Every structure is written in structure tokens, then in C-alpha cells.
């Protein structure tokens, strides 16, 4: 828990122009990995330092009343100033983890603490809770029953998604949550993602096709629809068949309001191609969704460096070679003496270290060429895309932040 966090996307514009940093709050500590984004879980590494082990059968660390009272205290302070504070919930755990662990001394369980949390949420309207989970499939089931039609206005439902596979899977559940604000954090981003604006639909009741030998059934729920060349929609049903649906059978569902991107940091950070970030930004811009780019990660793309900067990382060489992906270019590129680790990431995310074979590194994939990346460290790598910051936030979270350097974390 931290009353002030440097995580840029939690900061919030106030009515008097102040930009107030957000806070983090954890109902407990501890979690278990669910997808590739968890491989270098920052919380797990931090937890290990304080003796909290990660894993399905490891104890969760619960907290006494003193910890929980912070929420009421922060709410009171915000009310006095007429401010709203954004709270990132569960930076060291996952609020929607399904686990029946019980503390042998206090009897606290994940369910008991979740229930306590939801009650406090309703009593603290001057705090805006950003509930970020990798388990959105549990969100509606674990939320209070009286939230079934509408979540409180001071709650944003958010999931994280690192690539297309997890985005498509998790959005089916996130978009079923009746929250006023829905968001997606794509950090670490591990591949290009098609956000599918306009493709999300909901079937209020199940739809059946009784075509002989090709019967199919789509239960009620949210789907990512496929569109044929004539604009008609189909959904993929559990047996893998495509089932056509008509406008009277579906409702269009709005995509998330907010997308956050970021590259990975830490000693084993994976490399994100900068065009993945730019692609998500462009889709958000076209659809009118808010876009926030948190950080480039540990590796800085040459596309965000002026010549004067990248020349500091190696011995100078002719600029014309930068655009030649020939054998001589590769030889030239590989023969330089670099001061930091360097390589090329292709659009699929395959990383070619400068110390290994580079053949194929600059192949054009889906129209995108491999990008030279320099391991400058997180702070040097910064948070620019196309030379500027992207600080978009939905109005319910305070609106866009100014174009000033927010500290990354
Ligand atoms: S879900 Fe979050 S807290 Fe849990 S292991 Fe994955 S990254 Fe870590």
C-alpha cells in the first residue's frame, strides 16, 4: 500500500488544475501466475523481499484494521479538498483470485477480504478505485450481487492483456461487467493486438441454428464477432463452428474506454516492438478511446533517438547505412562496438541479439521492419512514441493529463 504512487496512469486532474498522484491499496499480498505476462512479475519479486511467497498453495498475507482504515482516511481528506483520488487496487495481488486459503490464526480468507473491500468502496465515494485483474472471468461472479446491473460510479473495471490471445479471452469477460469505466492495461505488451473496435457484441439470449448436419448453439454472452464481406456478423461457438447472427439477435457492446501500454522493465525484460504501441494508439485515436503510454520498458528503440543520442552508444558510421538492410549493413551493424546491449526485434517479437546471427532480423512482417533496440534502462528509454507523451485518460478518471514528464514506475 502506498498513499502516493509514481505510477503515471493513477495520477488525476483535479478541478483546480492540480495533478494529484494516485495511491495503491492491497486487500492482501500474494498471488499465482496465470499467463505469460506474469513471467517476470514485479510484485512476486517485491513480495519475496518481504517474505511473501507466490503460488497456488502458498499463504496469502492478510492485514489488520489499521491497514484498511487508510481508505476511510484518504476519502475524508479528499472530501475536505473537493478532490477525487485514484486508487490502483491490488498491485501486490489479484482482487479476483479464486483461492480458498484461510489464515489459520485470524480466519481471514480472500472472500472475507473481498467482501470487506466492496463494502468500503461504497462508503468512500471520493476515491476512484481502479480494479485491475488478470482474472476478469471472476469479476461479475465475485462482485456483490446488488452490483449485477450497475457497478458503483467510483469503480473502474480493468483487465491486463499482453497479446492478442489474452486480449480476446479477457475482453469477453471485461465487456460483460456493467462498470461506468472499463480499461485495459497492456504492459508488458508482448505482441501486436487488434483491438476490434466495432466487433464486440452481446447476445442477450442464446442463439440456435438448426440447419441439418450443422446445428450450432451460441449461449447468451459477449462475443467478438466476425464480419463477412457483406457486413453480416457471425460468432464462433464452442464447437468451433461459425454461427451467423442477425441484428435483432445481438446488441453492439462498446469496447473499453481506456487502453494503457508499456514495455517490460527489470533485469530479464522482454523487448516490445514500438510499432505495437503505435498500433494500439492509432486504433484508440480512430475510435475515440483514451490512450496512455506508460513506458517503453528497459529497451529504447532507435526510432525514439535523435542521431546525436544513438551515436553515443556506438562508434559513428555513415547514416546512409541505416536504411540499407543488405549483407554489408548487417556486417556493419554487427561489427560496431556498443556500450550497451543492442539487438533487433521483429514485428513478431523475435529478438536478434547483436552478438548472434542477424539474418532475418530486418525482414518486413505485416509491413513492419525489424527495429534496432538499445538496452538503455527504463528511465533512459522513457515513454515517448513518435517523439511525444500519450497521457489520455477517460473523463471519469480525471481526463487527459498534461504533456509533462510523469515519473514512470
Ligand atoms: S496476476 Fe499479477 S500479481 Fe499475480 S502473478 Fe500475475 S502479474 Fe503477478
Over 80: is that where the pLDDT of 117 sits?
Answer: yes
Q: Which three cell numbers stand for residue 84?
A: 477525487
Report the share of the chain in percent with pLDDT over 90: 80
Q: Which three cell numbers stand for residue 12?
A: 488525476
Reported as a pLDDT band with limits 50, 70 and 90, residue 315 is low
- pLDDT tens per residue, range 253-311: 999 999 999 999 999 999 999 999 999 999 999 999 999 999 999 999 999 998 888 87
Over 50: is that where the pLDDT of 64 sits?
Answer: yes
Q: In what order do the strands lie in the sheet with 251-252?
A: 221-224, 200-203, 251-252
Q: How far is the CA of 93 from the centre of ligand 1 (A)?
A: 6
Write down the pLDDT at residue 216. Answer: 86
Residue of 28, 30, 33, 132 with the most ligand 1 atoms within 8 Å of its CB, for mutation: 33
Over 70: is that where the pLDDT of 332 sits?
Answer: no
Cβ neighbours of residue 103 under 8 Å, at least 6 residues apart? Answer: 59, 60, 62, 109
Least confident span in 235-244, 252-261, 306-315: 306-315
Task: Give the residue from 157, 4, 14, 7 showing the smallest Cα distance to 70.
Answer: 4
The CA-CA-CA angle for residues 51, 53, 59, to 5°, reads 100
Cα–Cα distance for residue pair 206/16, rounded to 1 Å? 49
- CA dihedral over 236, 239, 243, 247, signed as positive or negative: negative
> What are the distances in angstroms from CA 260 to CA 8, 188, 289, 349, 352?
10, 10, 11, 19, 27
Least confident span in 23-32, 179-188, 348-357: 348-357
Task: Give the residue from 144, 148, 145, 100 showing the smallest Cα distance to 120.
Answer: 144
Over 80: is that where the pLDDT of 1 sits?
Answer: no
93 neighbors 31 (Cβ within 8 angstroms): yes
Over 60: is that where the pLDDT of 317 sits?
Answer: no
The DSSP H or E segment spanning 121 is helix 110-123
The CA-CA-CA angle for residues 109, 115, 121, to 5°, reads 135
Cα–Cα distance for residue pair 353/360, rounded to 1 Å? 12
Over 60: is that where the pLDDT of 320 sits?
Answer: no
Write down the pLDDT at residue 311. Answer: 76
What pTM does this model have?
Answer: 0.93
Cα–Cα distance for residue pair 98/110, rounded to 1 Å? 8
Over 50: is that where the pLDDT of 199 sits?
Answer: yes
* DSSP characters over 342-398: EEEE-TT--EEETTS--TTTT--BTTB--EEEE---HHHH-S-BTTB--B---GGGT
Over 70: is that where the pLDDT of 81 sits?
Answer: yes
Write down the pLDDT at residue 356. Answer: 86
Write down the pLDDT at residue 409. Answer: 38
Residue of 28, 44, 58 with the most ligand 1 atoms within 8 Å of its CB, for mutation: 44
Mean pLDDT of 19-46: 96
Write down the pLDDT at residue 408. Answer: 43
Nearest CA residue ID for atom 3, ligand 1: 93
> What are the distances in angstroms from CA 326 to CA 53, 330, 331, 359?
50, 6, 9, 10
Give the residue with greater pLDDT, 338 vs 298: 298
Please state the atom number of ligand 1 nearest to the C-alpha of residue 92. Answer: 3
The size of the chain, in residues, is 409
Cα–Cα distance for residue pair 82/86, rounded to 1 Å? 14
Over 70: is that where the pLDDT of 89 sits?
Answer: yes
Q: How far is the CA of 33 from the centre of ligand 1 (A)?
A: 5
Nearest CA residue ID for atom 5, ligand 1: 33
Instruction: Tell me the H-state helices in 220-356.
Output: 274-287, 307-310, 327-335
Cα–Cα distance for residue pair 17/393, rounded to 1 Å? 15
Q: How far is the CA of 97 from the centre of ligand 1 (A)?
A: 10
User: Rounded mean pLDDT of the chain?
Assistant: 92
Query: Which residue's entry shows cell 556500450?
Result: 339
Instruction: Tell me the H-state helices in 20-109.
Output: 42-49, 65-81
Nearest CA residue ID for atom 4, ligand 1: 31
- pLDDT tens per residue, range 127-184: 999 999 999 999 999 999 999 999 999 999 999 999 999 999 999 999 999 999 999 9
Amino acid at each position: 500500500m502506498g498513499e502516493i504512487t509514481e505510477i503515471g496512469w493513477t495520477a488525476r486532474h483535479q478541478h483546480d488544475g492540480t495533478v494529484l498522484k494516485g495511491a495503491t491499496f492491497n486487500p492482501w499480498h500474494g498471488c499465482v501466475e496465470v499467463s505469460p505476462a506474469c513471467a517476470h512479475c514485479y510484485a512476486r519479486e517485491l513480495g519475496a523481499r518481504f517474505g511473501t511467497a507466490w503460488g497456488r498453495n502458498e499463504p496469502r498475507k492478510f492485514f489488520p484494521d489499521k491497514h484498511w482504515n487508510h481508505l476511510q482516511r484518504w476519502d475524508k481528506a479528499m472530501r475536505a479538498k473537493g478532490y477525487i483520488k485514484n486508487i490502483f487496487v491490488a498491485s501486490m495481488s489479484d482482487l479476483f483470485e479464486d483461492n480458498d486459503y484461510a489464515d489459520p490464526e485470524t480466519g481471514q480468507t480472500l472472500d472475507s477480504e473481498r467482501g470487506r473491500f466492496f463494502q468500503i468502496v461504497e462508503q468512500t465515494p471520493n476515491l476512484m478505485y481502479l480494479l485491475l485483474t488478470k482474472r476478469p472471468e471472476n469479476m461479475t461472479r465475485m462482485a456483490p450481487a446488488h452490483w449485477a446491473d450497475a457497478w458503483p460510479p467510483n469503480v473502474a473495471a480493468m483487465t491486463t492483456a499482453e497479446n492478442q490471445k489474452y486480449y480476446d479471452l479477457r475482453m469477453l469477460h471485461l465487456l460483460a461487467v456493467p462498470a461506468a469505466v472499463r480499461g485495459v492495461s497492456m504492459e508488458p505488451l508482448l505482441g501486436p493486438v487488434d483491438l476490434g473496435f466495432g466487433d464486440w457484441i452481446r447476445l442477450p439470449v442464446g442463439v440456435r441454428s438448426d440447419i441439418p448436419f450443422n446445428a450450432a448453439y451460441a449461449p447468451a454472452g459477449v462475443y467478438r464477432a466476425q464480419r463477412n464481406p457483406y457486413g453480416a456478423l457471425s460468432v464462433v461457438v464452442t464447437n468451433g463452428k461459425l454461427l451467423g447472427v442477425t441484428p435483432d439477435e445481438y446488441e453492439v457492446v462498446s469496447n473499453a474506454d481506456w487502453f494503457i501500454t508499456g514495455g517490460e522493465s527489470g533485469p530479464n525484460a522482454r523487448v516490445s516492438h514500438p510499432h505495437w504501441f503505435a498500433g494500439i494508439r492509432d486504433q484508440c485515436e480512430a475510435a475515440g478511446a483514451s490512450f496512455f503510454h506508460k513506458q517503453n520498458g528497459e529497451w529504447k528503440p532507435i526510432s525514439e533517438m535523435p542521431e546525436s543520442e544513438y551515436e553515443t552508444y556506438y562508434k559513428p558510421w555513415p547514416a546512409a547505412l541505416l536504411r540499407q538492410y543488405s549483407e554489408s549493413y548487417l556486417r556493419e551493424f554487427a561489427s560496431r562496438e556498443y556500450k550497451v546491449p543492442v539487438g533487433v526485434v521483429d514485428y513478431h517479437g523475435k529478438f536478434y541479439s547483436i552478438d548472434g546471427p542477424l539474418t532475418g532480423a530486418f525482414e518486413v512482417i505485416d509491413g513492419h521492419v525489424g527495429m534496432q533496440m538499445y538496452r538503455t534502462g527504463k528511465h533512459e528509454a522513457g515513454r515517448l512514441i513518435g517523439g511525444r507523451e500519450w497521457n489520455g485518460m477517460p473523463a471519469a478518471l480525471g481526463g487527459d493529463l498534461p504533456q509533462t514528464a510523469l515519473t514512470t514506475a
